[in-house]
Amino acid sequence: MSGPRRVRSVTSMIRIDSLTQRYGDLAAVDDVSFTAFPGRVTGFLGPNGAGKSTTLRVLTGLARPTAGRATVLGHRYTDLPNPGLDVGVLLDASAQHGGRTGRETLALAQRTMGLPAIRVDEMLDLVGLTWAEGKRRVRDYSLGMRQRLGIATALMGDPRVLVLDEPANGLDPAGIRWMRDLLRGFADDGGTVLLSSHLLSEIEMVADDIVMIGRGRIVASGATAELLAGVGTLVRSDDGARLAAALTTAGFQATVRPDGAVATDADPADAGLVAFRAGLPVTELRSADGHGLEDMFLELTAADQREDSPARHAGLTDGASA
Amino acid sequence: MSTPALDTRAVAPRLATGRPPIPLARLVDVEVRKLVDTRASRWLLASVPLLTLVVVTGVTLWGRDAEVTFGMHTTTNMMPLELLLPLVAVLSVASEWSQRSALTTFALVPRRGRVVAAKAAALLVVTLAATLTVVVLSAIGTVAAAQVRGIEAVWDLPLDLGLRLAVANVLVVAFGFGVGVAIRSTAPAMVAYLGFMFVVPMISSVVAGLWTWWAENGAWWDLSWSASFVTAPEITGEQWAQVATSALLWIVVPTTLAVRRLLQVEIR
């Protein structure tokens, strides 16, 4: 993992180290390791039940791992003296006391962290909840409003690290855009963001790095750009078989797809040159971008999908088609 | 996101470990606030002075002159408190799980023992405050009732009985707290608590009727039985010892085990 903007500072990031969490015979998280770097948004991607939430609960001290270790800013979360000032956490927006008002919910967090009372109003403003909405009980909030309230709680202590589990759930398109801009701004200011989602489209748009998890194991990780670029070129000619053979002879990998197009790991310029030298007229030549990650996501999680409930399946299809 | 605070961060990175820990007093303050900031808890607590008012009015209007005394008022008015305060205690712990606000609570304060201690302290504060409130309201009621009836106000509450009323309230609240910590789900915890309040004394008295050993020694084991000694006009040393053993059995041991469990469980 390397990148020009990446700062390798042990004390200012999230590090998950050989983490395993077992429930009886089931390994919900199985030897998971990854790092979330400052200045970057790290997307934690996987189908429901893949182990994302369990990992985040261990990271934030709400669960004890069977083995391995999770640190944030170089410390175990439970060793942070006042963690709200260092790490903003939103694990489940629906997990808020319905009988309290939004404002009261924030006031409790503000008092716990020992912050001035003005932070409550500042945070309501920041997340776009009106004064009247702040006075309403959380029971009467939509999921989108609860997400905003949860984000307000997470940001209140002005932390350097954000840990968010499915923060886009329940947000309308404008809300999703708002969330994306907020996370981008947070990372651009040098903060570390780790957000989980089962929706590839969400992660793809905001994450600099992606960690993909399936059945408790990391199945892929790296910079989003690299994962996207890794899928090569699509080139089409009248005779796909000859084109593939020419590319193979030239030292590239090439396969003929069912629709006749040839997928190869050569870059577009090389693929075009090979076709030209072989005397094959090219009818289409482009990077196989965008959908590559989606294909990979579906492929990597295919085994899980088949055994998943219809609801989970719907969630995945959602992500793939969005 | 261009607040001054963010600029400060860029200039001088803050050290996570250099911070002062969250003082326990602040956590107690937060937990007291949690006891009164929801509609459910507010009604529970508001019903204490309301019921006191109703009882005082009733005794004043329809009671016999002999009943219109400070001691009678106070002991009568303590009864609703003894029933309601433990429900507040049950809720204070169980609702964190039923409403799942525990997720935020323990993310902000990962040292769970401190949250549990703060909750216990907050309940103690609220219990003593509510007890004092009832005593004061009873005193006002005594004066008012005497005025209305044109009789002399009778101040017949010995100090030791007054203190024992407070002890009795702390005992039931501690039991309610233990039930909340052990069961961690509002409805079942409520049922368990009410079951203890009403079913255990019933079973105990039936057993006492059939088995003379229990009739003579049951108070060493049955907290609902021994707790009744605490609010009696007189209490012996042996009865205090019975309060101690049954409290150990019903409050100290189960609560200790339940707290140890709470410190370990995964918060979902």
Q: Distance between terminal CA atoms of chain A?
A: 28
* pLDDT at A12 (0 to 100): 53
Q: What is the CATH number of the domain that holds A243?
A: 3.30.70.100
- The 3-class secondary structure across chain B, one letter per residue, is CCCHHHHHHHHCCCCCCCCCCCCHHHHHHHHHHHHHCCHHHHHHHHHHHHHHHHHHHHHHHHCCHHHCEHHHHHHHHHHHHHHHHHHHHHHHHHHHHHCCCHHHHHHHCCCHHHHHHHHHHHHHHHHHHHHHHHHHHHHHHHHHHHHHHCCCCECCCCHHHHHHHHHHHHHHHHHHHHHHHHHCCHHHHHHHHHHHHHHHHHHHHHHHHHCHHHHHHHHHCCHHHHHHHHCCCCCCHHHHHHHHHHHHHHHHHHHHHHHHHHHHCCCC
Has residue A3 been placed in a domain?
no
* pLDDT at B17 (0 to 100): 59
The pLDDT tens digits for A104-142 are 999 999 999 999 999 999 999 999 999 999 999 999 999
Is residue A236 located within the same domain as residue A216?
A: no
Partners of A165 in beta bridges = A196
pLDDT tier for residue B7 given thresholds of 50, 70 and 90: very low
Instruction: Indicate whether A160 pLDDT > 50.
Output: yes
Q: Tell me which of B165 and A49 has the higher pLDDT.
A: B165
Is residue A130 located within the same domain as residue A269?
A: no
Say yes or no for a CB contact (<8 Å) between A83 and B264.
no
Is residue A107 located within the same domain as residue A152?
A: yes
User: Which residue of chain B is at minimal alpha-carbon distance from A122?
Assistant: B3
Instruction: Indicate whether A6 pLDDT > 50.
Output: no
pLDDT tier for residue A21 given thresholds of 50, 70 and 90: very high
pLDDT tier for residue B82 given thresholds of 50, 70 and 90: confident
Residue B128 · residue B78 · CB < 8 Å? no
Is residue A59 located within the same domain as residue A164?
A: yes
Q: What is the CATH number of the domain that holds A104?
A: 3.40.50.300
Instruction: Indicate whether A226 pLDDT > 80.
Output: no
* pLDDT at A322 (0 to 100): 31
Has residue B14 been placed in a domain?
no
Which DSSP string do the residues of A59-77 spell out, in sequence order? HTTSS--SEEEEEETTB-G
When divided into structural domains, chain B yields a total of 1
Residue A140 structural domain: 10-220
Is residue A208 located within the same domain as residue A251?
A: no
Has residue B46 been placed in a domain?
yes
pLDDT tier for residue A299 given thresholds of 50, 70 and 90: low
Is residue A153 located within the same domain as residue A53?
A: yes
Has residue B9 been placed in a domain?
no
Q: Is B268 on the interface with A (CB under 8 A)?
A: yes
Is residue A178 located within the same domain as residue A251?
A: no
Has residue A283 been placed in a domain?
yes
Is residue A267 located within the same domain as residue A169?
A: no
Contacts of B13 in chain A (CB under 8 A): 12, 160
What distance in Å separates the CA atoms of residue B181 and residue B94, rounded to the nearest whole number?
A: 7
Write down which residue in A220, A247, A262 finishes a domain: A220
Say yes or no for a CB contact (<8 Å) between B21 and A100.
no
What distance in Å separates the CA atoms of residue A310 and residue A170, rounded to the nearest whole number?
A: 19
Q: Is B11 on the interface with A (CB under 8 A)?
A: no
Has residue A199 been placed in a domain?
yes
Q: Tell me which of B190 and A303 has the higher pLDDT.
A: B190
What distance in Å separates the CA atoms of residue B72 and residue B246, rounded to the nearest whole number?
A: 27
What ipTM is given for this predicted complex? 0.87
pLDDT tier for residue A292 given thresholds of 50, 70 and 90: low
Mean pLDDT of B170-186: 95
Instruction: Tell me the percentage of chain B whose pLDDT exceeds 90.
Output: 53
Q: Which of residues 63-92 of A touch B (CB under 8 A)?
A: 63-64, 73-75, 77-86, 89, 91-92
Q: Is A141 on the interface with B (CB under 8 A)?
A: no
Instruction: Indicate whether A193 pLDDT > 90.
Output: yes
Is residue A146 located within the same domain as residue A239?
A: no
Instruction: Indicate whether A196 pLDDT > 60.
Output: yes
Is residue A197 located within the same domain as residue A282?
A: no
When divided into structural domains, chain A yields a total of 2
- The 3-class secondary structure across A278-301, one letter per residue, is CCCCEEEEEECCCHHHHHHHHHHC
Is residue A284 located within the same domain as residue A139?
A: no
Residue B200 structural domain: 20-264
Mean pLDDT of A279-306: 71
Least confident range of A102-111, A193-202, B13-22, B127-136: B13-22
Has residue B3 been placed in a domain?
no
Has residue A153 been placed in a domain?
yes
Say yes or no for a CB contact (<8 Å) between A80 and B264.
no
* pLDDT at B192 (0 to 100): 93
Say yes or no for a CB contact (<8 Å) between A189 and B39.
no
Residue A143 · residue A170 · CB < 8 Å? yes
Instruction: Indicate whether A317 pLDDT > 50.
Output: no
Instruction: Indicate whether B11 pLDDT > 60.
Output: no
Q: Which residue of B16, B29, B107 is in closest CB contact with A73?
A: B16
Is residue A160 located within the same domain as residue A270?
A: no
